Amino acid sequence: MQTFAHGAAMWDVECPRRPSRVSGVTMAGFRVRDLEALRIVPHPAVTLLLEFGDGSPVLDHAPGQQQRGSIVAGPGLGSGGAVRARGENVECVQVRLSPVIARAILGASPADLDGAVVSLGDLWGREASRIREQLGEVPSWQDRFALTDALLARRHAAGPPVDPEVAWAWHRIVGSRGLTRVDELAAEVGWSRKRLWSRFRTQLGLPPKRAVKLVRFDHAAHRLVAGEAAAHVAADTGYADQSHLHRDVMAFTGATPTTVAGEPFLAVDDLAWPSRGTTAMASPFPAQTRAPNTGKDERMKREEFHEPQHAAAGVLRHSRWSTLPRHGS
């Protein structure tokens, strides 16, 4: 394991040596002796926390409300700065799921979470207890990652995919780092605005406009952590000005850009998630496809959308939209 030290925070961190067999899944392992009031910063992925150690993480997520143990939460967990994590002797596998695959793996739409932090036991029943026991029994972190990945792959294969139009709209949003004009998405997929907004919200857990703001914020926040000046970040990530960035950061975190730049929750990403962004940006599409229902000849470039090399075909395996052979098939 590697040691992450940032101010008073000191955590042991482990990463899988192999990518997940399911596109849109990334994970990291954490061992923390003393976790004190860690601010959870919103991220455009569904969070799945699998704990198995002697201690237990505690999430304080609303006035007087707590959630202990393994949890699941939809995109944007921590919005408004209202969620803190704490605990002693915490050991866990944290999984980030692209909203495009989350419904299949969870067995419920992220929209059903309604922005809440939910006990995994309430969602998976006995399977949540079994995976906790198994993670505690295996001897190494790589074994834990393999065990977790096998479970997620099995659930993903058995679960329902989202509509290809919805997946494509998400892909456009994250591929542009939140700079997509949401009013154009419906026209691009050939749906009415009302239909796309309804399906997107129902299947992914947030409306397109919120998704755009969250993806843009996540990109800007990590650039602040990297030490870039707020004025430069604002100008380069689609904000009207520095005041606009300030308002967005305050709305998502309850803190100023200067404070967010020093948050351990973000600073650990380069160590825990070395391919940061691929979960949110993982595409269910082949490396090159046409925009749904448009008939345009424009091709999506893999590098433009940061698509992992092991892209899964779950959503488009039998889609009429696949115009070229899938890579890696």
Q: What's the confidence (pLDDT) of residue 131? A: 96
CA quadruple 216, 219, 221, 224: dihedral sign: negative
Structure tokens at 302: 């893999």
Q: What's the confidence (pLDDT) of residue 191? A: 93
In the DSSP assignment, the letter for residue 326 is: P
Residue 207, burial from CB neighbour count under 10 angstroms (0-12, 13-18, 19+):
middle
Structure tokens at 325: 């052979």
Dist CA 21 CA 153 (whole Å):
7
CA angle in degrees (0–180, nearest 5) for 245-307-213: 20
Structure tokens at 82: 């209202």
Q: Are 266 and 223 a contacting pair, CB within 8 Å?
A: no
Q: What's the confidence (pLDDT) of residue 8? A: 67
**pLDDT digits (tens), the chain, 329 positions:** 888 877 767 889 999 999 999 999 999 999 988 888 888 999 999 999 999 988 888 888 877 788 889 999 999 988 888 889 988 889 999 999 999 999 999 999 888 886 678 999 999 999 999 999 999 999 999 999 999 999 999 999 999 999 999 999 999 999 999 999 888 899 999 999 999 999 999 999 999 999 999 999 999 999 999 999 999 999 999 999 999 999 999 999 999 999 999 998 898 998 898 875 444 544 444 333 445 654 433 333 333 333 333 333 333 333 333 332 223 32
Q: What's the confidence (pLDDT) of residue 4? A: 84
Neighbours of 137 (CB within 10 A): 11
Give the phi and the psi of residue 291 in degrees, each rounded to 5: -65, 135
Q: Are 312 and 23 a contacting pair, CB within 8 Å?
A: yes
Name the residue among 108, 24, 60, 53 with its Cα closest to residue 280.
Answer: 24
**Start-to-end CA span in the chain (Å):** 33
Q: What's the confidence (pLDDT) of residue 305? A: 33
Q: What's the confidence (pLDDT) of residue 301? A: 32
Q: Are 163 and 202 a contacting pair, CB within 8 Å?
A: no
Q: What's the confidence (pLDDT) of residue 280? A: 52
Whether the model pTM is above 0.85: no
